[in-house]
Structure formats: C-alpha cells, structure tokens
Chains A and B, each alone.
Chain A
C-alpha cells in the first residue's frame, strides 16, 4: 500500500515538490513557536527558590565617584602584578547603607531587611566561572548580606546561610544552589569543600569554601532557564577597601501591608541620605513587568504563525482540490473498476500523508541539528523532543484535514460521468 502511494506521489513529483516544501516550512515554523512555548512551560514548573509576596526591593544610586552602576566583568587575576588595593570610598558607602537598613528595620511594618548586588527580576547580571578538577563551571553571581535568605525566603537544603560565624574565617564563605553543587560535587557532600583551585603562581587570595546549599535562586524569574548560582557573603562592616557596596535593599513586610508603605519608606530613606536617588518596587510588580517582557516575543510569534498556518491550510486545500479535479478521469476509472468511496478517500489522504511524512522527515533532520550543535544551550533536548512531537501531531492533522475536504469532492464523482470525458 505504502509503496503504491509512494509511486503515485513520485508520478506527480513536480507539483508535489512544491507542496512538500510548503509543509516543511510550516513544520519548521511550528517547531520554532512550540519550542519556545514548551521551554517556557518547562521552566515555569520548576521551583523559583524565593518568595514574591510581601517583598519590596529598593534600589539606590549613590551619586558618588566610583559608584557601581557600571558592569565590571572580572577575569582571572594577573598573577605577576601585585596589586595595590584601590580605595574608591566603598567602606564609607557600606556604612551608610547599613545605617539606611537600620532605619528601615525601625518601621513597624518591616519584618526583615537585607542587601544584595542582584535582586530577583532585575536586569543586572553578573556571571563568572570557576575551575574545579580541570572543568569549568559557569554561574550567576551575587553577593548578599546575612539576612538575605530569611528576607527572601530562600530554602537552605544543606549546611547554613552566612552568619556572624563567618567573620573571622580564613576563607571566603560561599553558598551554592543545588544545581551547581550537583555539577561540581556529583558524589560528595559539598559542605566544607573548596570550589576554586589554586595553583602555584596564582594570586594567593582567600579561597572560596562552601558553607551551605540552597534549593534554587532563579534571578530572571519563572520563564528563564534555571542556571547555576553562587552567593558570596557581603559584609557591610568589612574593613577591606575593595569590597563593593551592594546595589539593592530587599525588605520583607508583614502580610497585609499596603502600598502606602512605599512612600513612607522612601521618605525615610531620602531623609537619611538626601543626595542619593531611591526607587522602590514591590516584587510582585517586578514579576509582572518581567513576565510581560518574556511573553511578548512568544505572543508575537504565536499570532504570526497562526496566521501563517491559516494561510497554508487554505492554500493547501485549494491546491489539493485542483489536483482532484484534474484527476477526475483516473478516479472515475477506479470507481468503475469497483473501488469504493472509502478506497478513493483513503488513497487521496494517504498520498498527502506520504508527502507530509517526507517533508517532516526533512524537517526533523534540520531540527535535530539544533540540540546536536548546541545552538541554544539553555534549551534541553527534551524540550525539542516534546515540541517536535506536538508539531508533528499538528502538521499531520492539518494536512489530513486539508486533504479530506477535496477527497470528499472526489468521492462524489460518478464513474459514468467521469468516464464520459474520455
């Protein structure tokens, strides 16, 4: 049966090539959109790691020389150069931030206050990498104060979060997320391990030692792919002049606190530090803004591809219809030889199914290159697999529906009438 259908398709190869190309392109468009959608759904189901309700973020600009609204990407330290620490006024700025946090803690609505470089949904990012056992691990970086985990509701799964216990330590305490801990230490307990290797000749700074592991911290929110994450401790009273001050304050308020809290807090901060610029936003609002940014490209792509598919469906139906009318004689002959209506319909739809299969096979060969060449490293092969499966179902349904309408027309052909043309 299949071989017979293949032969029929081959006999009309010139017009069939165009139809196959059209189906192939539609398939690729569909895979593109569904991959994005499946990617989002897949990410959305995974734990976020922090609370969103009842949390405000307050960002501030310090209007002072050497302020940190710039991005500094640090590379490996230059081993030969013994660097003199550069004083950019960080110690004083950190002390002033500690003052501001104190004055927020005095407010009756406030449960806890912390500071960090990067807060959830913010557009600031800081990436870095470490080398352990000859393997590089890339991660998102953040430095936060001792109250950060409590304020944002981070779940510590092993070890502990930073605390005053780390004050005198001879190493830099770090907290990893589960993903990074799993990647770096697949078969041992990460607590107490050092995560950076030092070779002779490297600058002999304090090494990073794991004190705890948190479930997750997905800075870019629900739709972003989960990433490795590493926290440093940011100590506001650290005497080291090179420790940068944090960029943002996070405040957890008591449930039921209204938006009026925002103006009160800002007024208080402005009173304490009139030269700085403050900006407050509830985390729920940041989430909304971030979701809009993530969903805009998906909705635009979805709308466009729905129109494209309607266009393809209409076009395909039209073309197949014309093919049927051209084949009146052939169909009439088959009917005269005893083929039933169902036989004819099955043949016509079968031909289209064969065409679709050829087109999809080519499409899958193209799509497979993406995970193989790791074009989008954030997208897992599983996501591609699911979206290809969804697209296959859609494209077969679409093309069979397009073939079914004309095949009904064909089955209405009376053998006697068809053969009269001969």
Chain B
C-alpha cells in the first residue's frame, strides 16, 4: 500500500515540476538560513572543545561600582577574584584569564597581530585544550613569573612557519617568551577560551593589577554540578557586600557569577541597575526573530499547497466515485507531502553543509568550523512537515468529505 502511495506521490510531484521545484526551493533555502544562524549561535554558546565542562562552569565576566550618579563598568580585577571568589562552596576549581589584548610583534620586519591573554595554571585544568606540542604552564611557572608562553597553531605558523615551536622564543608586547606548548586554534567567537598567546598572569609588566577590584580578568568557576549554581551565585553576592568603595561617588559593588549565555543576556537586555540576569529574554528574542523569519516562507508554502489541492478537486471526485474512502485519500496526500518535505530537507541539508563550509573557509569568523545543528535541523523539518500537513492535507480531507458528484463538478469555492 505504502509502496503504491510512494509511487503515486513521485508521479504527481514529477508531473507538476514547477510547483515541486518552488516548494523544494522554499523549504531548502529556509532550512539553510536557519542552519547558518544556529551554527553561529552554537559556535558562540554551546559547549565545544576546549570548553567541554561548560555545563558546570560559571564565569565572572563583569564587575561594576555604582553610585547615585556614576557607574564604573569593567571586567573583574585580580584582587576581587583573589579575595572574594576563591574557595566558594561547591566549586572545585577557580581560574582566571585576562580579557584578550591585541599585541603587535615585528618578527623579521613584518607585522604580526596576536591576541594575548594572561592566565593562571588552573585555567588549563578547567578547560581542556588539545596540545599539538608541549604542554601548559604550571603553578610553579605562575608563582615564579616565568617568561613562558602557550601559543596556538596559527601563531606558530605566523612566527615560525611550522613545527616545531617548543623551546623557541617569541616577542610579544615588548617581552620575550619561551614557547612551551602549542594548542589547536579556538574560534574567536569563544571569548572564554580563544586566544593566540597565553602567558602566566604574573608576567605582567607591573604589579598594579594585584590591587585592582575592577580590571581585565574573567574568573572561571568549575562547580561540582549545575545544581550548585544558585548557591555559588548567592555566596559570591553575599561576600561582595563587604567590599570597600574606592571613593564616595560609589555605594555598591557588583560582580555576578553567571554562565556566558546569561552574561550576554544581561548585556543586551538587562537593566543596568538590576542584579538578576534575564536569559529568558535572550531566548525569547532569538525564538521571536526565528519565527518572524519563517513567517514568509510558511505563508508561501501554505499558499502553494492550498492552490494545488484546489486544482485537484476533480481528481478527488473521480477517486471518491470509484469508492476510495476519505482515509485512503488523506493517506495519499500525507505521503505526498512527506515525500516533498523530506526531499526538500535532504537538499537543504546538503546545501547547508556546503554554505557552512564556505563561510568557515572565508575567515569571516577566524578559526571557526561551523557545523549543522542536527536538533535544530529536525525542528526546522518538523515545522515544514507541520505546515505542509495543515495546508496540504486539511483542505484535501475537507474535500474528500464532499459528495463525489459535487467534487467532480469542481465545487471548490
């Protein structure tokens, strides 16, 4: 039975080539746009190496002094993290890494731009970098302020033209570092782990950073499980109540522990003086934009399907006259629709893969390797199936309940 349905569907779709092509074009292009957008979002927010323990990692990404008339915003300072964020209950490890700084070097007279980050040794244990050569710097290196560096593959190639790099020296920001490790490139869409040159935070040119409450460090808190998050957040907030104010312009200090997604949400949608972040607002905005985009393709698909079914009124009439039940007819249209949507999905999948590979290749997002998000792909196809059924099968079902004679007469309106 199914086989004859499939055969029939194939014949019908092939007979109306222009309409089939239009539907397929619509479905596949919509899927491609959806896939590119979600691939970029995944590349920004979803767990991926080296942030493999992202589910149980909280970050301290922003800190702020506020007063009645003044706000002083920045990343957290070393002193704040060192004094208030260590040994939080439920936290296994606390590491820190500076926000990326652009530094310039001139090896052999040509200019090389790198993003440099200063980190402690815990940073390498919280994240799981893939080392191509050597290894990370140790607690000992950090304590001694050793001039050692971990660089990524791209930086190795820019400085040395290829392996090996371990043991050689690079100049960055007027300082010299001995390379002790080479890691795989990490996409620049990952502000937590992306960087070209990592050096111990104690190699900073002066000790001024040690006194800073606001500065340029991200704190990373590896909790035992996500269930500990509320307790960690609350404990940090209560500890920060005792922070001294730098001068009388300010009366409050605030540096929340939050996931990266939450920090982006509060940057885009948060109220400046509100301590709670609103991840649901960012989710809402993303879903809203996605649905808004899908509106036009959906109306287009519905329009096509409705017209197509109307056109086939007489076919339905004939089939009814020869004794086909409503169920048989509906079954036929469901299969037809599914075949159409699935062919569109396959084309969309292949196109998405090609487009994503092209985007990764252009270097628009340095070091990015974009992938299709299967889950969102399934949702997209699911929506296409849903609207296909509503717009294609529902009118067919209504028509199949007409008297054969009126259907035959073409009573479509």
Contact = CB atoms under 8 A, between A and B. Distances in A.
Most buried by B among A274, A314, A318, A322: A318
Contacts of B360: none
Contacts of A380: none
A389 interface: no
B300 A311 contact: yes
Given A64-B206, A315-B300, A70 B111 contact: no
A15 B307 contact: yes
B248 A81 contact: yes
Contacts of A21: 299
B216 to A, nearest CB: 7
Interface stretch (B186-194, B207-215, B400-408): B207-215
A77 interface: yes
Interface string B372-413: 000000000000000000000000000000000000001011
A25 B211 contact: no
Given A22-B303, A65-B211, A73-B71, A325 B311 contact: yes
Contact of A323 (B25, B29, B73, B307): B307
Given A75-B70, A326-B310, A262 B205 contact: no
B274 interface: no
B72 A25 contact: no
A275 B206 contact: yes
Given A25-B296, A63-B208, A263-B109, A12 B413 contact: yes
A158 B212 CA distance: 45
B299 A311 contact: no
18 contacts: A15-B306, A15-B307, A25-B295, A69-B216, A70-B214, A71-B74, A77-B69, A78-B68, A266-B104, A280-B104, A311-B25, A311-B29, A314-B25, A315-B304, A318-B304, A318-B307, A325-B311, A326-B412
A312 B308 CA distance: 16
Contacts of A241: none
B283 interface: no
Interface in B16-58: 18-19, 21-22, 25-26, 29, 33
Contacts of B69: 74-78
Contacts of A71: 72-74
A322 B311 contact: yes
Contacts of A266: 104, 106
A67 B413 CA distance: 75
B402 to A, nearest CB: 16
Interface in A275-319: 275-280, 296, 304, 307-308, 310-312, 314-316, 318-319
B214 to A, nearest CB: 6
A61 B209 CA distance: 12
Interface string B135-178: 00000000000000000000000000000000000000110000
A136 B139 CA distance: 55
Given A25-B299, A70-B74, A315 B310 contact: no
Contact of A275 (B70, B205, B364): B205
A4 interface: no
A67 B74 CA distance: 11
A19 interface: yes
A18 B299 contact: yes
Given A77-B69, A274-B205, A318-B304, A279 B297 contact: no
Interface string B282-300: 0000000000010111011
Interface in B275-329: 293, 295-297, 299-304, 306-308, 310-311
Contacts of A322: 307-308, 310-311
Most buried by B among A74, A76, A296, A312: A312
Contact of B73 (A26, A65, A70): A70
Contacts of A310: 25
Interface string A78-94: 10010100100000000
Contacts of A259: 111
A68 B205 CA distance: 17
B149 to A, nearest CB: 16
A38 to B, nearest CB: 21
A346 interface: no
Contacts of B102: 279
B8 interface: no
A294 to B, nearest CB: 14
Given A25-B296, A315-B300, A307 B29 contact: yes
B34 to A, nearest CB: 11
Nearest to A270: B174
Contacts of B297: 308, 311
Contacts of B338: none
A19 B413 contact: no
B347 interface: no
Contacts of B101: 61, 277
A65 B174 contact: no
Contacts of A14: 413
A26 B304 CA distance: 16
A63 B204 contact: yes
A19 B303 contact: yes
5 closest cross-chain pairs (CB), A and B: A75-B69, A314-B22, A70-B74, A315-B300, A322-B307
Interface string A85-115: 0100000000000000000000000000000
A15 B22 contact: no
A307 B311 contact: no
Contact of A318 (B18, B248, B299): B18
Contacts of A321: 18
B265 interface: no
B296 A26 contact: yes
Nearest to A62: B208
A29 interface: yes
B105 to A, nearest CB: 10
Interface string A224-267: 00000000000000000000000000000000000110110010
A263 B108 CA distance: 11
A303 to B, nearest CB: 9
A72 interface: yes
B72 A72 contact: yes
A391 B146 CA distance: 63
A266 B71 CA distance: 34
B109 A315 contact: no
A19 B29 CA distance: 20
Interface in A8-22: 12, 14-15, 18-19, 21-22
A22 B301 CA distance: 10
A270 B175 CA distance: 10
Nearest to A319: B307
Contacts of A74: 69-70
Contacts of B249: 83
A26 B303 CA distance: 14
Contacts of B293: 304
A85 B302 CA distance: 69
B103 interface: yes
Given A75-B70, A277-B103, A64 B296 contact: no
Contacts of B295: 25
Contacts of A312: 296, 300
B199 to A, nearest CB: 13
Nearest to B19: A318
Given A25-B299, A72-B70, A319-B304, 16 more contacts: A15-B310, A21-B299, A22-B299, A25-B295, A65-B211, A74-B69, A74-B70, A263-B109, A275-B205, A276-B205, A278-B104, A308-B29, A311-B25, A314-B22, A323-B307, A326-B412
